[in-house]
Amino acid sequence: MERLIIEGGVRLEGTVDISGAKNAALPIMAASILAPGVNRIHNVPSLRDITTMGRLLTHLGIDFMHDNGTVVLDSDNLQTVEAPYELVKTMRASVLVLGPLLARMGRARVSLPGGCAIGARPIDLHIMGLQKMGAEIELSEGYINARAERLRGATIYLDIPTVTGTENLMMAATLAEGVTIIENAACEPEVQDLANALVSMGARIEGAGTSIIRINGVDSLNPLDYRVIPDRIEAGTFIAAAGITGGEVEIRGCRVDHLESVIAKLREAGIHIEHKPGRLKVKGPERLNAVDVRTMPYPGFPTDMQAQFMALMAVSDGTSLITEGIFENRFMHVAEMRRLGADIIVEGATATVRGVRMLKGAPVMATDLRASASLVLAGLVAEGRTVIDRLYHIDRGYERIEEKLRGLGARVRRER
Ligand code: UD1
């Protein structure tokens, strides 16, 4: 199994380019199901999750190619409507094919994702929304079997502003008969990016990026040619990396407007961040300040930055309270960070982090995608050697991470 070996204590310096957003690319790839023809998506990062979605689309009969940042999907010959367990279990976002399959083919059979390391993560709201649009849905043998001659527009209120749920329903509604209104929709930039991609295919969507999205169904859509937004979580992680090492890094190709809550919190922690068009100049302090944070739906502080923020707080001056407001079990990195000498106690949804002067390198294990990023940050500042096992988690969401870090001077290598 691959491991990442970090010799800590280097101040990062230089320039790093941000890749395309995985969480925007995945639903946009699923949107290729909606229109027969050759779909092109640009700025798609080379990541395990993208390969998994490619395999799933290939399984459905779509030709998939990923070369030099561009994904080409030929969806002329859809052959099956089944997303099998073997693929869905490795990536929950596979459920994003449910809405588009049902809308284009009138049928879908998608495995239930099952449990997940960071909480139960049900998909009841995806199902409820599709039922409101007239789908007949039956759960059997671990599969969602959905059927609808043609979906009908409906008003759907989401109890929780689920990101992939909003995306699934928005895609389904593009080909439905009549108007669909999604209330309490997720406002994440990735939802907005998907809406922009769908509009470029001929969909009629208003309000994406706000909590009320209105979709006027159309009879058919054209194939895609679209460039995905930069990854705000990767950008946030590199700001944190500069901050935690007291370094000086320029972050290129990011969307500052998607990073406002992250920038606000990292500034409070003492990191100096200067805006320039399309890039940020970041300078870490001698010692970070302890700051409390609570994760929330966008535009609140993202849950996908919680673990990385905790690494910063682990070496800050004071005590910080970190509250997880989205997922019930997203503190798996705490036990690993403690192995590096962090002083963290978890009670319910809140972690109390007492900053220590110094972390010390140790062998640790990545438990999920963002947890692994937090261990990389901790390893960059820890004294001595940190070895991160189960590296495949990080390869799901960070493109060429060790190469990018090495470009900033970090002593990092991958061992196979
Ligand atoms: C997406 C992101 C993930 C991010 C998360 C929250 C993708 C591919 N993944 O995941 O990186 O951490 O948003 O920003 O974009 N819920 C229900 N019922 C549902 C759906 C969700 O109760 O039908 C709950 C979940 O258990 C969770 C909360 O809603 O507590 C938010 O989850 P959701 O927004 O759906 O996360 P994902 O879309 O899976």
Q: What is the pLDDT of residues 153-199, one digit of tens each?
A: 999 999 999 999 999 999 999 999 999 999 999 999 999 999 999 99
> Residue 390 carries which DSSP code?
-
> Which ligand 1 atom sits closest to the C-alpha of 326?
30
> Which residue among 22, 26, 121 has the greatest number of ligand 1 atoms within 8 angstroms of its CB, and so is best to mutate?
121
CA atoms within 13 A on the CB side of 157: 1
Between the CA atoms of 139, 143, 145 and 151, what dihedral angle is there, to the nearest 10 degrees? 100
My answer on whether omega of the bond before 299 falls inside 30° of 0, hence cis, is yes
Q: Which of 368, 374, 310 is nearest to 115 (CA)?
A: 368
Strands ordered across the beta sheet of 38-42: 63-67, 70-74, 38-42, 225-227
Q: How many residues does the chain have?
A: 416
CA of 303 to the centre of ligand 1 (A): 10
Residue 116 falls in the annotated catalytic set: yes
Residue ranges with strand state E in 325-416:
343-347, 350-354, 363-365, 385-389, 411-415
Q: Which tokens hold the place of 91?
A: 């990536």
Residue 297 alpha carbon to ligand 1 centre in Å? 10
Q: With a 6 A CB cut-off, is 165 part of the ligand 1 pocket?
A: yes
Average pLDDT over residues 369-388: 96
Which tokens hold the place of 372? 């692994």
Q: What percent of the chain has pLDDT over 90?
A: 92
User: What mean pLDDT do residues 215-220 have?
Assistant: 98
With bands split at pLDDT 50, 70 and 90, how would you rate the model's confidence at 122?
Answer: confident
| Alpha-carbon span 64 to 57, nearest angstrom | 7
Return d(Cα 295, Cα 119) in angstroms, integer. Answer: 15
Q: Write down the catalytic residue from 10, 116, 128, 256.
A: 116
Closest atom of ligand 1 to CA, residue 167: 38
Q: Read off the pLDDT of residues 340-366 as tens digits, 9 standing for 90 and up.
A: 999 999 999 999 999 999 999 999 999
Q: How far is CA 97 from the centre of its chain?
A: 17
pLDDT tens readout for residues 91-120:
999 999 999 999 999 999 999 886 455 555
The atom of ligand 1 lying closest to the CA of 164 is 38
Pocket test for ligand 1, best of 26, 98, 128, 164 (most atoms within 8 A of CB): 164
Q: Report pLDDT for 114.
A: 62
Max avg pLDDT among 30-39, 121-130, 137-146, 324-333: 30-39
Residue 42 pLDDT > 80: yes
- Binding site membership of 49 for ligand 1 (Cβ less than 6 Å): no
**Mean pLDDT score, 277-303:** 97
Cβ pair 175, 221 in contact under 8 A: yes
Instruction: Please tell me whether the overall predicted TM-score, pTM, comes out greater than 0.95 for this model.
Output: yes
Helices 369-381/306-314 angle, 10° precision: 20
